[in-house]
Structure formats: C-alpha cells, structure tokens
Amino acid sequence: MAVAILSSFIAIQSIVNAPAAAQAPAANNVVVYIFKRDTSKFQWAGDLESKVSAAIGVNTVKDKNTGASKAGIYDASDKLVDGASVQFVIDPSVTKADGTLLTVADIPNDMAFGNGVTVGGIQLANGEIVDTIHFVFSSADAATVTANLEKIRQILATESPVPQ
C-alpha cells in the first residue's frame, strides 16, 4: 500500500501483537471525512480528535489493526479483509494546486487511511500533495457527523496546544 506523505506531526498508531489476518475490522462500514489542513497552525491529531468527539458526541473508529481505502478495509499486513463499503466525504475547501476540488477519483486506489484522525496529506498520482486532515467514523454515525460539519470546521480552524 502506498503511504501518504505526511508533512507535520501525525498520529502514529501501533500494531498489537495478535496476528493481523485474525483481526476483524472494528467497523465493517466506515466513512472517511477529509478536510483541508491549515499548515500555518500546529494541529495535533489527539487534540483534534478529543475536541471533535466532545463537540459532536461521536467517537472515531480507533481500530489500530485496520485501515480504509477505496477498495475496502485492510489489515495491518495490507490484506483486504472486508470489501465492505468505505465512503468518502470531502469538504469543498479541499482543492488541488490548480484550484479544482479534490474528488474521490483523485485519491489513489492504494491510499490507506488510518483510523481515528490523521493530520497530514494525500499524495495524488501526479505526485502533488494535498494537505488534509482526515477522520474515520463508523457509517452508523455518519448522519450525526454530517449534521455537525460546521462544528468540525470551526475546531479545525483553531491551533492545538503542543503536546508535552
């Protein structure tokens, strides 16, 4: 799997010792919400995640053994373990260098999105990096998350404290 090039602090998620192939996804259907990243601000994933969860009353999917892609859910060894639906919601503020909106078609097929929150970026097929913050939520919570997109945008407009 290609790895997104990340240009700042990111949430690093460790792998537990159980065999990856035996792991079942924590959520069979997930929605990846992609927002524009303001690179002029320090934005720590853990801080953003706790603020967003508190504001909207929904937690992100935090399964350290799986990740989402356009093809489905992968385990830690990059094996497709669930071809279930992975949906993408891209905020209209996310644009490419030419000013056009980022679309799902622009996301590389082998781009894996970690669970929880990632502060970093997406590397497109042409090598361009689009700075983003992405959240992974269960599709069961999608209506609540979508209803609170403005709250999430407001939180993302703030700067995080530097972790100690």
Does some domain include residue 8? Answer: no
Counting the structural domains of the chain, the total is: 1
The contacts of residue 10 (CB under 8 Å, 6+ apart) are 45, 118, 119, 120
Does some domain include residue 66? Answer: yes
Does some domain include residue 108? Answer: yes
Angle at which helices 149-156 and 45-56 pack, to 10 degrees? 150
Which strands make up the sheet holding 66-69, listed edge to edge? 66-69, 72-75, 80-82
Q: Whole-angstrom Cα distance, residue 73 to residue 84? A: 7
**Is residue 81 within 8 Å of residue 25, measured between CB atoms?**
yes
pLDDT digits (tens, 9 = 90+) for 14-67: 222 233 333 444 556 899 999 999 999 999 999 999 999 999 999 998 877 778
End-to-end CA distance of the chain: 32
Does some domain include residue 51? Answer: yes
**Per-residue model confidence (pLDDT) at position 162:** 73
Does some domain include residue 14? Answer: no
pLDDT for 7 beyond 50 = no
**Per-residue model confidence (pLDDT) at position 28:** 67
Does some domain include residue 6? Answer: no
- pLDDT grade, residue 78 (50/70/90)? confident
**Per-residue model confidence (pLDDT) at position 16:** 27
Q: Which helix (H) or strand (E) holds 72?
A: strand 72-75
**Per-residue model confidence (pLDDT) at position 27:** 56
**Per-residue model confidence (pLDDT) at position 11:** 29
Does some domain include residue 110? Answer: yes
- pLDDT grade, residue 13 (50/70/90)? very low
Q: Whole-angstrom Cα distance, residue 98 to residue 9? A: 26
pLDDT digits (tens, 9 = 90+) for 108-154: 987 888 778 999 999 998 899 999 999 999 999 999 999 999 999 99
Task: Provide the residue range defining the domain that includes 78.
Answer: 29-90+102-158
